[in-house]
Amino acid sequence: MTTRQYELVERVLSYQPNADEALLNRAYVYAMKAHGNQKRASGAPFFSHPLEVAAILAEMRLDDATIATALLHDTIEDTEVTRGEIDTMFGREIGTLVDGLTKIKKLDLVTKKAEQAENFRKLLLAISSDIRVLLVKLADRLHNMRTLEHMKPAKRRIVAEETMDIYAPLAGRMGMQWLREELEDRAFRWLNPEAYAAVVDRLKMLREQTQGLIDEIEHALTSKLEEAKLQAVVSRREKKPYAIWNKMERKQISLEQLSDIYGFRIVVPEVGDCYRAIAVIHTTWHAVPGRFKDYISNPKQNDYQSIHTTIVGPRHQRVELQIRTERMHDVAEYGVAAHALYKDINGANGSMVPSQDSNAYRWLRHLVGMLLDGDNPEEFLEHTKLELFQDQVFCFTPKGRLIALPRGANPIDFAYAVHTDIGNTCVGTKINGRPMPLVTELRNGDEVEIITSEAQIPPSAWQSLAITGKARSAIRRATRDAVRAQYGKLGREILVRGFQRRGKTFSEDNLNLALKRLSQKTVEDVLAAVGRGELGSAEVVRAVYPEEAQAEPPKRRRKIKRSDEGWFGLGKVMGLKFRWPGSSGRAKKDAKDAFSGIPIRGLGGDLPVSFADGGAVPGDRIVGILTPGQGITIYPIHAEALKAFDEEPERWIDVTWDIDEDNPQRFPAKLAVTVLNEPGSLAQVASVIGEADGNIQNIKMTNRVADYTEILIDLEVWDLKHLNDIVAGLKGKDMVSSAARALI
């Protein structure tokens, strides 16, 4: 039945006596004329839609400005009305609300992932400035879902998916449980009609079978509370079809195995009455262990408060109970729309505007803060969906601060919830005083202590371990910053030596003056670009000293030559050993000072370094090849793979070993071993390597014939001498035909 104008106005006046009746009537007439003869897909007048949206919001007891916005919310999008006209006729406040809704309506939230993510960002930005924009949008979506049968099947499915993925979870996060349940149920009906029908049919049968039992439980609860002289309203509630289906799917159980299809709600006047009621119930019936939750002292993030318990009630049936005050019940049902905190409630116009200081609204502002931190849209959408759908656990810091987290969260999530800096420096945790792994799943009531170290950088692998969007976002950001810092340090090393080779001194001040010529914004950008291989050191020198570029003679390609005696042809000294032909001893020392290589400590250092497939070990003379975006790859100078870079001298980087004697480190190498095909041959090879303190990483059979097998062995050794000792040990075995280092 369609709501009528006078019914809408009377409903608003019933809870807001000072409401602007003239404003409501003016908005009604204006919108009705603007929509004119427009029709909905059902054939009904189009204006019936904004009128029903306004009626839904009136049920939620929203202020007159919000009701007027609902009446006008489609005018800019679907008629000739402009934003300026709305501002003139109804004021800037309503104009802003209608404009926000118009922008949201243009968003397509069910499309390919990148576009959906970007539109979701726009949605949250639009609703974050005034929560009433979201409330009108949710009411708009609810009425569209109530009339979805009139849409074409393809469009119907798109709207249902969008509702299930975005709007229903948003309603839940805003604490509007009844709205979430109805949106989910109506979407479920169209997305999985067979499952919906099956659940509805089984519910109907169950309702008929249990009617007497439900009445008996309700009567028993009411009687016991009356005996204790508690004013209480006991009501039954039936789980919605989608909630039933979702739980059956999640826990892989049948409908008959669900113990919470029917529950009972006890509403009392005061908070103290909640605890008196639980005392009466628990002293009358047995409580089920582990099923008591106090969300009054520890509210959920969407402001939900209640006491939950499960008892073994009449006829030995499990009965789930929720105990709350009337105020808590309103918040549980209507969320942010039900808060008693209103702005200007005693003002001249008596306007009732929902408070924007609720936990639910703070969560929304937190999401918007994540947007402004610069995460890409797809990451943001992924993280937000995780947070929308998760239930919660409540944990404490050692000082008693309460931290609410999604169920399944671990100490990594906890650390980032306390503070981003705590998460970034986390190295360990104690849970209830005991050292525990960082991947331990947290439980309600856990006291969590985070152990930190200033030297820590969060490993990128934590992204897959963290549950919360905040933690994943911060880890990804810290990882990017760390990688950028590594490339920046490498770039600085390259530039310092590049400037030295040209007789110049590297200076950040001089580099800052050349930023425009390099098309970079900051010195850090230049350093990172050089480290990534996107800028060459010669290019930077020319930008800093333009006169040098004019004075340089034309370049001639020089053939790169490798020699056992050293490194020639590039005018640079590579590795640990060098020869400068035709120079005095003093000249050699000056050359070494000027052209000393970038120090390399292996994979554990703070430079982006990797080793070639054949590996390299201390004692090898080494060279670095710079690959854009990947850093430096280290090769022994005899590696065959270096021939591929002979025509790219700009990629060759001076490097040298910088071994920390106090913290020895293993390095990768590869052996080619040929063994006779005898039982136990492979075991003997592994035994020789193990006894020599080598660490085998991988073994690959490359050629197997009747008499012998060729094997490639990836292993880790301390240095070149250690590697040679292993090779000598293998050659001493009778079953080994040959053993040598494989330089690929």
In 3D space, the residue among 468, 397, 475 whose CA is nearest the CA of residue 430 turns out to be: 397
% of the chain exceeding 70 in pLDDT: 80
Spelled out in words, what is the top-level CATH class assigned to the domain 667-741?
Answer: alpha beta
SS (H, E, C) 683-714: HHHHHHHHHCCCEEEEEEEEEECCCEEEEEEE
- Give the residue range(s) of CATH 3.10.20.30 domains in the chain: 390-467
Q: At what angle do helices 21-35 and 5-15 cross, to 10 degrees?
A: 150
Give the largest CA-CA distance in the chain. Answer: 110
| pLDDT confidence bin for 219, thresholds 50/70/90 | very high
Is the pLDDT at 596 greater than 60? The verdict is: no
CATH topology of domain 202-338: Beta Polymerase; domain 2 (3.30.460)
Q: What is the pairing mode between strands 622-627 and 652-653? A: antiparallel
- Give the residue range(s) of CATH 1.10.3210.10 domains in the chain: 5-194
Backbone φ and ψ of 362, nearest 5°: -65, -35
Cβ proximity of 110 and 162 under 8 Å: yes
Cβ proximity of 232 and 267 under 8 Å: yes
What CATH number was assigned to the domain covering residues 5-194? 1.10.3210.10
DSSP state letters, 331-393: HHHHGGGG-S-EETTTSSS---EE-S-SHHHHHHHHHHHHHHTT--HHHHHHHHHHHHH--EE
| pLDDT confidence bin for 243, thresholds 50/70/90 | confident
| pLDDT confidence bin for 410, thresholds 50/70/90 | very high
If DSSP codes are grouped into helix, strand and coil, which group holds residue 262? Answer: strand
- Dig out the tokens for 545 from the structure: 């000293």
The CA-atom distances, in angstroms, between 330 and each of 28, 133, 176, 180, 324 are 28, 20, 9, 15, 10
Is the pLDDT at 381 greater than 90? The verdict is: no
Is the pLDDT at 347 greater than 70? The verdict is: no
Mean per-residue pLDDT, 682-691:
89
In 3D space, the residue among 709, 710, 726, 728 whose CA is nearest the CA of residue 718 turns out to be: 726
Q: CA 452 from chain center: how many Å?
A: 22
Catalytic residue numbers, as ranges: 77-78
What CATH number was assigned to the domain covering residues 390-467? 3.10.20.30
Global pTM value:
0.55
Size of the chain in residues:
744
- Give the residue range(s) of CATH 3.30.460.10 domains in the chain: 202-338
- Give the residue range(s) of CATH 3.30.70.260 domains in the chain: 667-741
Q: What is the pLDDT of residue 335?
A: 74
The whole-angstrom separation of Cα 693 and Cα 696 is 10
Which tens digits make up the pLDDT trace of 91-125? Answer: 998 998 888 888 776 655 555 555 556 666 666 66
Q: What is the pLDDT of residue 43?
A: 86
Q: Which residue has the higher pLDDT, 169 or 452?
A: 452
Cβ proximity of 384 and 120 under 8 Å: yes
In 3D space, the residue among 601, 739, 743 whose CA is nearest the CA of residue 664 turns out to be: 601
In 3D space, the residue among 497, 526, 494 whose CA is nearest the CA of residue 510 turns out to be: 526
